[in-house]
Structure 1
């Protein structure tokens, strides 16, 4: 298989990453599916288990918060039990933070009671900045599709345990091992993608940190028609996200680009709708309790 010569990690191009993420969220119906899950499973199985007095302020931490759509869905549910919430948003991508800020501004009435502490930082930068201050603890921590970018998961969860209040909870979302992006990561190691972190890796790290957890699978199908059939701006952005490489059509050799397209075609789901081609992109929700 031909090697890519000019391929760079998508995460290094903040604007392209933000654009391609929004396309992925749209074409996987990620927000709609997660909204259903958060409105049903979350209140009964997670929110009621958080040990924090309803009369006091709920301290929330979002790590790698992205454009904020999923976090806002969670915050709306939390507001049903806690009238005052502080959400510390740790997100290194300025384009994502600005999108999140715009979303929060548009939903001011719905999110009344939430105050945001915006941090354009990686988790490592956030830790370094706060390490000399009195330890601040949180009742609820969110990590949505971000665990791929940490080298030592056990150390990350040890840290999260140290800043999690007793009776607090962590909700992590990660793509399932048998879904399109983890599969392509293993198929094309020459791309400088994120590590092929699996659900089992997360489970091992959580267990080593001596935290209890349960797992719930959320089914998501991705409409990949635009990047597998024909040409479109949206299709190119989606392919960038699937390969975690910006402008992959221009930076990969013709042979490699063709191999990538053929590979994704080979794992298209047999179910079809109006001639569309779908890829499986289920995720696991890992619910962790201290």
Structure 2
């Protein structure tokens, strides 16, 4: 068997588990917290041209367990003390984690009211298509654009529900980082690994004549367990890198070995503690209206 026939995203439980490990091993929450508290708050947030006394209407698509959006909301609250946040997330376990986080951080999120929607973007559109068009001042798309089936249509829709003076911020892994590189090296993963790349997004935005600015955020992924041993976390991390559930169990031994050897070939110079890292930089794509 050459690779898992089922994309990881279709296995809700396994996807949530592997994403947790990827976030832990890349320290994405800590890295983005620093970026959000500095560059985003000091530079990017100023591009939202909405009166401070207005209630800020926020939309999160594919919000996940909420750790990244939480740090964004904390910064946005400093300028807009009243926020309504519509959270659109298909994975129930992630919604429950986000709800738990919001309850735990209720004091820091004082002024934010949440509207929880267990939907994909497409389902959200269908559910709201017969209702008066609701617009938003600020739309967050953190690591979700990969899965858009009709990129042009979805980007046009998001622009149509963005208020004048509003902002869309989308974040995704750079094309020269670990997961996209797997697709280039192993074409058989194209049906499992990200459908959309940052290059695709840029091309579509240019075609649609939507102006944007791109910011790179440097991050590294700790793959030491994948290369040096066997563990539950190693299996989950490989699942995420290949976007295939239970990859170690379902792939041929030769393909699994090829994946590990490829990861070894793109390891960055080792740190002093002897751990192995590969690049997993992100692009933040900012659209204003």
1:216-231 matches, within 5 Å, as 216-231=215-230
- Answer yes or no: is 1:132 the counterpart of 2:130: yes
Aligned counterpart, 2:205: 206
Q: Give the Cα separation in 1 of the matches to 2:273 and 2:21.
A: 20
Contact 1:3 1:253 (C-alpha < 8 Å) held by counterparts: yes
Residue 251 of structure 2 is aligned to residue 268 of structure 1: no
The separation in 2 between residues aligned to 1:233 and 1:164, in whole angstroms, is 42
3-state SS in 2 of match to 1:203: helix
- C-alpha separation in 2, matches of 1:114 and 1:124: 25
Give the superposed CA RMSD. 1.3
- More divergent stretch after superposition (185-194 vs 153-162): 185-194
Shift of 1:127: 0.2
CA distance in 2, matches of 1:199, 1:31: 21
Distance in 1 separating the partners of 2:143 and 2:163: 23
User: Equivalent residue for 2:41?
Assistant: 43
TM-score by length of 1: 0.96
Gap regions ≥5 residues in structure 1 = none
Q: Deviations over 1:252-278 (max 9, x none)?
A: 111111111111111111243311110
Q: Who is 1:232 aligned against? A: 231
| Number of residue pairs the alignment of both structures matches | 288
TM (normalized to structure 2)?
A: 0.96
Report the more deviating stretch, 189-198 or 203-212.
189-198
Alignment of 1:82-121 (within 5 A): 82-121=80-119
Tell me the distance in 1 between the aligned counterparts of 2:206 and 2:163: 18
What residue in structure 2 maps to residue 14 of structure 1? 12
Tell me by how many angstroms 1:51 deviates. Answer: 1.6
Pick the aligned partner of 1:177 from 171, 175, 178. Answer: 175
Deviation beyond 6 Å, 4+ runs, structure 1: none
Contact 1:91-1:97 within 8 A present in 2 as well: yes
**Aligned equivalent of 1:54:** 52
In 2, Cα distance between equivalents of 1:47 and 1:64: 21
Structure 2 portions without partners, runs of 5+ = none
Other structure's SS at 2:273 match: coil
